Amino acid sequence: MAKEKDNTNKTFLLRVDAETMEAVERWAADEFRSVNGQLQWIIAEALKKSGRKKK
């Protein structure tokens, strides 16, 4: 039997400096995303680009 993929979200604390946070907030607003959604997108794109995540 195939193992089901775990699609649960994990919560973690991320500390970033104020300048970086402001830049992410502006970027998220420009793309009509929440900051959380923008960070998820940034991470997913970096994983794909590095070959660590397929698709």
Q: Domain residue spans in the chain?
A: 28-55
| Per-residue pLDDT, 29 | 98
- Residue range 23-44, pLDDT digits in tens: 999 999 999 999 999 999 999 9
In the chain the first and final C-alpha atoms are separated, in Å, by 24
pTM exceeds cut of 0.95: no
In order of 16, 30, 47, the CA distances from 10 in angstroms are 19, 26, 17
3-state helix, strand, coil in the chain (%, to 5): 50, 0, 50
